[in-house]
Structure 1
């Protein structure tokens, strides 16, 4: 059952409240603005939170400078604020500070209302940003670990791939495509997307070897998924079952059984060479139909080889970390 109030919601509410209390205690005007900044600063990852805080600090300094110049020349009028936006927004985008446009403009509006760019008000706006962004970063230091969820994703993904390969072996023998195959691929794809998102979120919160591993793992499985989709297309072109088909089907079943996370695929790749040899010593095709079927089987084996090479390369690279 999904929680009604999540961790991010709780942190946002508590952080915004605390920001307003601290800003008021410091004697800052428009203390509620610090609470709004906290709301915009609480993110899903530590990295994003810090990055946005830096953007907003930079955009605030730029905004206050432009507004100060324009309010001095044009006066504290709506026209001056419009000119400020015309100049500030393109510059904020150019300097990659677009996420700070709204917050910085809200702070500038305080100067417009107060009709002043005195050091007191400049300090007031900078402190509002400092309190809001600072609490946002502070509250984002704690991020609940999602390792367990990622491990569950791994198990689910492996189980689905095993199931798909097992059905491929059956299809090779019977030429009868599994009815639920489309659903299997759909479920696998959806979980790969979820797992990849979790892995990257974990990396942005905890930059360590384990979090990097999860990202690489999801990338490896995603590539294998694309290979499986390509292999699946071969079944539409099969006509009959031949001796070579049984050899390939048996090996496909073995791959399914040994597809787990820690298998480096070296043994399977060695055995695949034997499968190629076993197929090559079979008598030459006598009909066009048999020739085409043999060619499709060969392509299927090459795709299976690529699938295993992707796994082997993943294991080799992870050993380097």
Structure 2
């Protein structure tokens, strides 16, 4: 059994809010602990958003309950009448996910048969204590940078291995590669994007989008790598152009890390020179040579897109 950091915060925060509500002498003080559990979300921004929605829903519920119970008395059908107006209003204000929280407050008033100032203040204090404890617990979030850096290095290592294997296939015709890095990269990118998005939502006062933009860039590059593999897989035989591309891919595998715009431009220039050499080469002599040449030219265009995606990311990252 593993107890996570969020579980610990939920346990401590709920106990704290119940203790504070009890110390203040509030009725239904255990409700503060439930509110704390509900508002402790995965990220700081989600907690703030959820806390605000529940606060608004509770205010609406209190307003409708005070009005309805005051006019019609404390009857079960009055609760149905309140819900008849509460739910559409919550939907209109986009706080429908917090209707159940407001319903609990309405039931508090119904069970107490009291909607005076003291009861309203009691419910507002319960909401304040419950939400406050949740926000206090979520004010600290563990630093995810080490994990993000680890995922970044794994992706770059897999990209390097994939380029080397493609180069080996072009140079030697080797087909014994199992492709483990492909499926592994799919999983890593999925986890990295999720983690990077959570990291963004844990910065309330400033936007930290660096890692998310990086993994999004790698995700787009990986789509191109998969297309390149499909393009080159039907190649037959070993041709001079294929060996030239293999040398280029070996060079690319050394420069997977972010690097600089100048380094990326250098790879683009090398690719352009390679394309010029292909254009000057003798025309294909048979169908197989023609299909191979077409695949290699298609590879050049895909690799150009791969590098330009990185170039655009580097430009934005330096701003």
TM-score, normalization: structure 1?
A: 0.93
Partner residue of 1:284? 283
Partner residue of 1:303? 302
Partner residue of 1:153? 151
Unaligned runs of 5+ in 2: none
Query: How far is 1:16 from its partner?
Result: 0.7
Query: How far is 1:178 from its partner?
Result: 4.5
Query: How far is 1:68 from its partner?
Result: 2.4
* Larger CA deviation: 229-238 vs 184-193: 229-238
Asked if residue 41 in structure 1 is aligned to residue 44 in structure 2, the reply is no
Stretches of 4+ aligned residues off by more than 6 angstroms: none
Asked if residue 261 in structure 1 is aligned to residue 265 in structure 2, the reply is no
Asked if residue 185 in structure 1 is aligned to residue 193 in structure 2, the reply is no
Query: How far is 1:66 from its partner?
Result: 1.9
Q: Is the 8 A contact 2:221 2:306 kept in 1?
A: yes
Distance in structure 2 (CA, Å) of the matches to 1:185 and 1:90:
48
Partner residue of 1:52? 50
Query: How far is 1:111 from its partner?
Result: 0.8
Following superposition of structure 1 onto structure 2, how do residues 159-308 of structure 1 map, counting pairs within 5 Å? 159-181=157-179, 183-206=180-203, 211-264=208-261, 265-308=264-307
What CA deviation, in whole Å up to 9, does each residue of 1:195-243 have, x standing for no partner? 1111111111135889321111111111111111211211333233221
What CA deviation, in whole Å up to 9, does each residue of 1:101-131 have, x standing for no partner? 1211111110111122111111111111111
What CA deviation, in whole Å up to 9, does each residue of 1:118-150 have, x standing for no partner? 111111111111110011111111111111010
Partner residue of 1:312? 311
Query: How far is 1:75 from its partner?
Result: 3.0
What CA deviation, in whole Å up to 9, does each residue of 1:163-201 have, x standing for no partner? 1111111222344444421x3211101111111111111
SS in structure 2 opposite 1:237? coil
Paired residue for 1:115, among 113, 116, 140? Answer: 113
Distance in structure 1 (CA, Å) of the matches to 2:174 and 2:269:
30
Distance in structure 1 (CA, Å) of the matches to 2:176 and 2:304:
23
* Larger CA deviation: 235-244 vs 106-115: 235-244
Distance in structure 2 (CA, Å) of the matches to 1:318 and 1:28:
52
Q: Is the 8 A contact 2:10 2:37 kept in 1?
A: yes
Q: Is the 8 A contact 1:192 1:218 kept in 2?
A: yes
Distance in structure 2 (CA, Å) of the matches to 1:30 and 1:146:
38
Aligned length: 317
Q: Is the 8 A contact 1:171 1:178 kept in 2?
A: no
Mark the CA change 1:208 to 1:114 in structure 2 (over 3 Å): closer, same or farther: closer
Q: Is the 8 A contact 1:167 1:178 kept in 2?
A: no
Q: Is the 8 A contact 1:171 1:235 kept in 2?
A: no
Q: Is the 8 A contact 1:199 1:211 kept in 2?
A: no
Paired residue for 1:90, among 88, 91, 115? Answer: 88
Partner residue of 1:71? 69
Distance in structure 1 (CA, Å) of the matches to 2:206 and 2:252:
28
Query: How far is 1:266 from its partner?
Result: 1.6
Unaligned runs of 5+ in 1: none
TM-score, normalization: structure 2?
A: 0.94
Q: Is the 8 A contact 1:244 1:282 kept in 2?
A: no
